[in-house]
């Protein structure tokens, strides 16, 4: 597979009255054609800021790209003007936001909100665009699309509104679809339907997807690769099987240990102690060290590099250094991994 997107050492800060918040601190990853990459982490880890930066949607003037490159088909999006990004946004790279109600204009019919992009980016006339809008609504599973195309957002349920937002994002056949917590506001049943829809879209259109979430279990059966973020950095990245069955970073251990499984109903879930660091003053060494029961002395003074576990798997923890003591993952995490393997499902789905 060829690389569609390359993010290199991206650093993003926000200038506030209290000082500079270092939201993204040297993030690097690739996205291949037709691939689904999940970016996972707690609130405040920098994953949504990363996705907004890719879209050129950082709030100005507070949000600033300090350094780094975002290479899309070989061109650096960081160097693009707002006018140039408007031609890319929606047409080449689209985004599905967390709250579908705030993403839709309550005063406009659903059809018109899809038609707008088709006329602007695809050069269709209104009749062609309406026909395409009905096809898109049908594609994302909206019943009676020829009727629903003339209705308003308040006439749709939460799950249906999210399907409409996905239809809008797909209208111009984008090469990359960024989904920022698209299922958080939905109940479990609807959540599963939206995840299945996104799998179908990826399979049918070969669109590359970046899936942003705080929940490893949500993306376990959707993503091809997973990047785990903490305190503005990617601390582990690999295939889904790498991260679920052979996790190496203590933070990933914590995330996996906090996930319920069908085989461990009576077992107490693991809780990561403490809170994420203050990004106004990030820690000098490993940002996760204060919450890490396995932290080494070096973690307090020096940031770990990305250590290679395999050709597809990397993790930033001093525990992977050749001179580090041999420390195994907690037994509770190991039991959960065994439970995932036994059921053939991850995240207890």
Domain membership flag for residue 325: no
Average pLDDT over residues 200-220: 88
Asked, for residue 141, whether it belongs to a domain, the answer is yes
pLDDT tens per residue across span 212-266: 998 887 888 889 999 999 999 999 999 999 999 999 999 999 999 887 766 555 5
Q: What's the rounded mean pLDDT across residues 321-344?
A: 83
Which stretches within the chain are classed as H helix? 47-55, 82-88, 100-103, 110-122, 126-139, 145-148, 158-170, 188-205, 216-219, 240-245, 250-257, 331-343
What element of type H or E holds 77? none
Q: Which residues contact 6 (CB under 8 A, 6 or more apart)?
A: 30, 31, 69, 70, 71
Q: Do 175 and 115 meet the contact criterion of CB atoms below 8 Å apart?
A: no
Q: Which is higher by pLDDT, 349 or 337?
A: 337
Is residue 115 in some structural domain? yes
Specify if 19 maps to a domain: no
Asked if residue 156 belongs to a domain, the reply is yes
Rounded to whole angstroms, how far apart are CA atoms 255 and 270?
8
Does residue 290 carry a pLDDT above 60? yes
The CA distance from 65 to 157, in Å, is 37
Whether 123 maps to a domain, the answer reads yes
Please compute the mean of the pLDDT values over residues 133-140 and round it to a whole number.
Answer: 94
Nearest CA among 160, 176, 266 for reference residue 212 = 176
What are the tokens at 1?
A: 């597979």
pLDDT band at 342 (very low <50, low <70, confident <90, very high): low
* Helix/strand/coil for 208: strand
Q: Which domain holds residue 158?
A: 100-173
Domain count, the chain: 1
Q: Is residue 154 part of a domain?
A: yes
């Amino acid at each position: 597979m060829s690389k569609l997107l390359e993010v290199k050492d991206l650093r993003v800060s926000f200038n506030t009255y209290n000082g500079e918040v270092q939201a993204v601190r040297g993030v690097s990853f690739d996205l291949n054609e037709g691939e689904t990459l999940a970016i996972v982490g707690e609130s405040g880890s920098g994953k949504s800021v990363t996705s907004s930066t890719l879209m050129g949607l950082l709030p100005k003037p507070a949000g600033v790209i300090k350094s780094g490159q975002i290479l899309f088909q070989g061109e650096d999006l960081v160097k693009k003007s707002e006018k140039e990004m408007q031609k890319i946004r929606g047409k080449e790279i689209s985004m599905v936001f967390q709250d579908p109600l705030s993403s839709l204009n309550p005063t406009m019919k659903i059809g018109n909100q899809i038609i707008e992009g088709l006329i602007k980016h695809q050069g269709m006339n209104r009749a062609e665009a309406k026909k395409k809008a009905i096809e898109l609504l049908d594609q994302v599973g909206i019943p009676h699309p020829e009727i629903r195309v003339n209705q308003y957002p308040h006439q749709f349920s939460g799950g249906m509104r999210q399907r409409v937002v996905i239809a809008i994002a797909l209208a111009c056949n984008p090469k990359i679809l960024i989904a920022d917590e698209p299922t958080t506001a939905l109940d479990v049943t609807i959540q599963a339907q939206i995840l299945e829809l996104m799998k179908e879209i990826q399979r049918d259109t070969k669109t590359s997807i970046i899936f942003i979430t705080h929940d490893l279990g949500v993306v376990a059966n959707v993503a091809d690769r997973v990047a785990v973020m903490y305190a503005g950095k990617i601390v582990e990245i690999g295939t889904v099987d790498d991260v679920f069955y052979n996790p190496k970073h203590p933070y990933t251990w914590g995330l996996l240990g906090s996930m319920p499984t069908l085989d461990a109903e009576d077992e107490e879930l693991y809780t990561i102690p403490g809170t994420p660091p203050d990004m106004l003053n990030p820690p000098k060494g490993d940002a996760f060290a204060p919450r890490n029961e396995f932290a080494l002395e070096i973690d307090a003074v020096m940031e770990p590099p990305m250590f290679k576990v395999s050709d597809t798997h990397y993790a930033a923890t001093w525990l992977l250094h050749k001179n580090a003591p041999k420390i195994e993952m907690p037994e509770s995490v190991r039991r959960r991994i065994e439970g995932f393997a036994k059921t053939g499902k991850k995240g207890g789905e």
